[in-house]
Structure 1
Amino acid sequence: MSSSCAFTIESSEGTFTLSPPWDLAPSHHPSGTESEGQGQRLHSGVLRDLERQNQKKENIRLLEEQIALTKQLMEERDKALMEEGSQQS
């Protein structure tokens, strides 16, 4: 049974992670304020996405209502034209 392990090395040049196959790769660990800023941006982005989704739903609802009203208007216009045509004959 093999086990895998990794080591993190901090130096004046940065933080490095040593993991199998034991390559040194620079890694980035955000500071507390940087991490908080990223969390705030993520939260703001989620809120904007939710607002866009709600606006899209409202736009679709308004379009459907407009389609229904247009259909009703056309039916009423056709009915009025049919009555007008039957009165002239």
Structure 2
Amino acid sequence: MKYIKRDSYDSVLDLCAGSGVQGLNIIENAEKVVEVELNDVAYNAAILNGKINGISPKKYEVRKSNLYQMVPEQFDCIISNPP
């Protein structure tokens, strides 16, 4: 994260987002963060963590998807911390 946080981005994709910690850590450096998670528990945790941290749904979106399945657009930065 320390290397990624050096820049600012229009859009960031976090694959295998888990609870959303990576996306939330970079949220100040991005106009929009999209998190992708397949596991139901982790997906719901990522949504809840966005709400707990007061992040606007317009800036922080969580999608239930298997990697790129629900991700048709392009991103400036892709991060991942897969299992």
The TM tier, using the shorter chain, reads under 0.3
- TM-score w.r.t. the length of structure 1 is 0.19
- Name the larger-Rg structure: 1
Q: Which has the higher strand share?
A: 2
- TM-score w.r.t. the length of structure 2 is 0.21
Answer 1 or 2: higher relative contact order, Cα 8 Å, separation at least 6.
2
